[in-house]
Amino acid sequence: MKKRILIDMDGVLADVYQPLMEYQYTKREKYISAEQLNGIKESEAFPDLKEIVTQNRFFYHAPLMADSIEGLKYLNDKYEVLIVSAATEFPGCINDKQQWLEEHFPFINHRQMIFCGRKDCVMGDIMIDDHPKNLDYFMGEKILFTQPHNFQLNKAEYTRMNSWKEIMKSL
Ligand SMILES: [Mg+2]
C-alpha cells in the first residue's frame, strides 16, 4: 500500500508571498524584498492580509511555486496524495482553490482535495506544510517547506525542504 502524503496549498503549491507583497507594499509604494521578511510572522509582514485575500479572487490568481507541477506529479505517482488546505475562513475561498487546483493540476481528482477548517483531523504518513501550527499536531513525518515566516525556525522533528526540487530528490 502506498504511503499517504498530505500537501498544503498556500506557501507550498501556491506562491502567496508574491501577490501579498505586491498588494501590501508595491501597490502602496513601499519597496521591500522577500529577504527583508525572513523571520517575520505573516500577520506582521502583511497587516492587511485579510483584506487582500478576500478581494479579486486572490487564491484563484495565486502564482505557482517553482517546479510544483512536476513535483506534485512525481509524488502523485509514488504516494497516495491528498491536498489539504484550510479554506473555510474566507468567503469564496473553497471555490477559488478548487478551480485553481483543477486548472494547474488536472491529474489531481476531486477525492484528493480536502478543504477544511483545521488540519489536525486529517491522517497520513507524511505532511508537507509551511506552518508549524499544522505540523505540530500531525502524528507522521513532518516536512517544513521554507517560507520567509518560518525561516529561522529550527526543530529537530521537522525536515526542512527549500524547494520542490529538494522534495523530488528526497521523497
Ligand atoms: Mg500553508
- Give dist(CA 160, CA 43) in Å, integer: 22
| 8 assigned to active site | yes
pLDDT tops 90 at residue 34:
no
Separation of CA 152 and ligand 1 centre (Å): 16
Distance in Å, CA 17 to ligand 1 centroid: 11
With CA atoms as reference, report the closest residue to 62 among 11, 113, 135: 11
Task: Note the pTM of the prediction, 2 decimals.
Answer: 0.96
Residue 15 has pLDDT above 90, yes or no: yes
How much distance in Å is there from the Cα of 13 to the middle of ligand 1?
9
Which listed residue (8, 96, 129, 130) is catalytic?
Answer: 8
What's the pLDDT at 16? 97
What does the block give as the cell for 26? Answer: 508595491
Q: Mind listing the pLDDT tens digit for each residue in 118-161?
A: 999 999 999 999 999 999 999 999 999 999 999 999 999 999 99
Distances (CA, A) of 34 to 31, 38, 39, 122: 10, 7, 11, 31
Exposed/middle/buried for 145, CB within 10 Å: 0-12, 13-18, 19+? buried
Question: Hey, what domains does the chain have and what are their CATH numbers?
Answer: 4-15+60-170 (3.40.50.1000)
10 is catalytic: yes
CA of 2 to the centre of ligand 1 (A): 24
> Distance between terminal CA atoms of the chain?
16
Contact 129, 135 (CB under 8 A): yes
Q: Which of 128, 106, 110 is nearest to 9 (CA)?
A: 128
Q: How far is the CA of 130 from the centre of ligand 1 (A)?
A: 5
